[in-house]
Structure 1
Amino acid sequence: MSITITNGVLQVSGAQDKLRGKGRERPEFLSDYTLLDIETTGLSPYRDHVTELGAIKVRGGEVVDQYNQLVYYPRSNHVPSAITKLNGITEDQLLAEGIPVKTAMTEFRTFIGSDIIIGYNVNFDLNFLYDLTQKFNLSELNNDYVDVLRFARNYYPRQRNRLLDCIQRAGIAQTEQHHGLADSLDTKKVYDDFRLHFTPDLLAQTKQQLKNFDLLAETLTNEQIGFRNPVKNKKITFAPNLAMDNSEACQMVNNLGGQAQLELTADTDYLIVDDHTFFDRNDPLRKQVENYQQTGSKIKRLSEKYFLNMLDEWARK
């Protein structure tokens, strides 16, 4: 049994099928790839939905094809006003100009094919897209990928590194369009700019930043633990019947700067339950959480799948 991070990917014995089967990050400069960007109604693939799909296909460093499509859903197509203010996309526009999300996602998956995927903060996009391919029984989106944000963070250390910041620094544009195709084209320009300016040493340093360590090791360095890991300073209780080994899960939490609890208490931050129990309204632990919440406790119930994917997201950053 083991819990490790290998080249930026979380590996959990007995529970690997709980994780999105995304590909591995490859910090490289490529000539052939598909570069993509999507627009969504928010940050969570569990609560929010895709509104626009955009991508370009690149061969020999040149754009040879493109995809751009608004999408709508069978039920709600509500777009928060803050999102409309950002990119101009409205619910009326989705219904008038979009196509069904299943149709669009099927086309988009075909467009990507087996290409290595490139994007800016691309794990955000991949989470939404991976879940849609699963929902519509399309081929798994397990393509390897390049995250241009990782190059930005190494080239401009200790600076703000939004896509907007990079296109302004490189003299590409003064504004970000916040539309799939336009942002894909701008990201390619940023990627090409880094290609021109990265030294071999800087590229090697970037590759070395992919996480590789054993989460069950007795001691982890402060650099390995990091200040953004999602369990640091959290009190976490693991319910019975999880796919992962409970004792190993507790050891992992303690090693990452959290505190594993053997019993649920009012000051617990997260209760991790198995995926089926998460929806069981008669679960005794659920009722115990609700009782604590009524007295002001801020306990959150997380499914094992959600918890492990939260850790995987951190592992990939």
Structure 2
Amino acid sequence: MSILIKNGVLHVSGAQAKIRGKGQERPGFITDYTLLDIETTGLSPYRDHVTELGAIKVRQNEVVAEYSKLVFYPRSNRVPAFITNLNGITEEQLLSEGIPVKDAIIEFRQFIADDIIIGYNVNFDLNFLYDLTKKFKLPELKNDYVDVLRLARAYYPHQHNRLLDCLQRAGIAEVEEHHGLADAIATKKVYDDFRGHFDEELLKQARAKVKNLDLLDKELEAWELGLHNPVANKKFVLAAGLAMDKAEAALMVTNMGGLVQAMVQSDTDYLIMADQKFFSKNHPDWLQAQKYNQTGSKIKRLSESYFLNMIAEWARN
């Protein structure tokens, strides 16, 4: 039994099937790949939608094919106003110019094929795409990938590193278009700029930032936890029936700076429930949490899958 991070990938004995089986991050410079960028209605693949898919296929560092499609869903296609203000995409545009999401993800999965994937903060994109391929029973998106953001953090340490920042610093562009294909092309320009400036020491620094940790070994240091640790200073209750070993899960939370409580209390932050029990109306722990919430507590319930993928995203950060 174990819970560890190997080359940025979270491994949890007994519960691995609950974690997105994405590929491994491989910081470096290659000449054959697919570079992608997507637009969405928000940040969560659990509740938000893809609105646009964009990608370029690159061979010997030259673009040989492009993909760009707007996407609509069978039911709601509402686009929040702030997203429309950002990229100009509207619900009306999706319905009039887009193609059905099933058709889009089939085409996009075929376009990517077995290529190594490149993108900027590409884990964001991969979460949405992985879930869609799984939903429509397509080959899972297990392709290895290069995250250009990882390279940016090595090249521009201690600075804000949005795609726009990199475009402006390199004199490539003054604005980011926030459209899939356009941003994919812009990301390639940033990637090529890094290719011309990186040395072995910078590449070594980037690769060293990919996490390799035994989460059951000891309490992690602040530098190991980083700034986006989802567990730090939070109080958890682990309900019965979880696929992972509860004692190991509790030790993991403790080593990551959180606290596991034996039962739901007024100051509990998260109740972690077995996937099959998540929507139960009579779960005793959730009933107790609701009582506390009625008097001012803010206890949230998370499914085991959601919780593990939250940790997995931190592992890849």
TM-score by length of structure 2 reads 0.99
Partner of 1:206: 206
Shift of 1:226: 2.4
Shift of 1:225: 2.3
Distance 1:205 1:152 in 2: 11
Distance 1:213 1:287 in 2: 36
**Partner deviation per Cα, 1:113-158 (whole Å, 9 max, x = no partner):** 0000000000000000000001111100000000000001111111
| SS of 1:114 mapped into structure 2 | coil
Distance 1:279 1:257 in 2: 28
**Partner deviation per Cα, 1:207-250 (whole Å, 9 max, x = no partner):** 11111010001342221122321000001110011000000111
Counting only pairs closer than 5 Å after superposition, residues 82-97 of structure 1 correspond to structure 2 as: 82-97=82-97
Shift of 1:77: 0.4
Give the residue type in structure 1 aligned to 2:273: V
| SS of 2:267 mapped into structure 1 | coil
Q: How many residues align?
A: 317
| SS of 1:279 mapped into structure 2 | coil
Give the residue type in structure 2 aligned to 1:11: H
| SS of 2:272 mapped into structure 1 | strand
**Partner deviation per Cα, 1:89-121 (whole Å, 9 max, x = no partner):** 000000000000000100000000000000000
Maintained 8 Å contact 2:271/2:286: no
Counting only pairs closer than 5 Å after superposition, residues 43-122 of structure 1 correspond to structure 2 as: 43-122=43-122
1:184 aligns with 2:171: no
Partner of 2:19: 19
Distance 1:277 1:39 in 2: 33
Identical aligned pairs, as a percentage? 68
Runs of at least 5 residues in structure 2 that lack an aligned partner in the other structure: none
| Structure 1 stretch displaced more, 173-182 or 211-220 | 211-220
1:164 aligns with 2:164: yes
| SS of 2:133 mapped into structure 1 | helix
Distance 1:267 1:111 in 2: 48
Give the residue type in structure 2 aligned to 1:305: S
TM-score by length of structure 1 reads 0.99
Partner of 1:223: 223
Give the residue type in structure 2 aligned to 1:111: F
Give the residue type in structure 2 aligned to 1:116: I
Shift of 1:264: 1.1
Maintained 8 Å contact 2:219/2:254: no
| SS of 1:102 mapped into structure 2 | helix
Maintained 8 Å contact 2:37/2:55: yes
| SS of 1:183 mapped into structure 2 | helix
Distance 1:98 1:243 in 2: 40
Partner of 1:129: 129
Partner of 1:289: 289
Partner of 1:38: 38
Partner of 1:249: 249
Shift of 1:51: 0.3
Distance 1:283 1:117 in 2: 42
Give the residue type in structure 2 aligned to 1:171: G
Maintained 8 Å contact 2:235/2:260: yes
Partner of 1:10: 10
Maintained 8 Å contact 2:236/2:269: yes
Distance 1:3 1:205 in 2: 25
**Partner deviation per Cα, 1:168-213 (whole Å, 9 max, x = no partner):** 1111111000000000000000000000000111101111111101
| SS of 2:30 mapped into structure 1 | coil
Give the residue type in structure 2 aligned to 1:124: F
| SS of 2:153 mapped into structure 1 | helix
Maintained 8 Å contact 2:32/2:61: yes
Shift of 1:284: 1.6
| SS of 2:69 mapped into structure 1 | strand
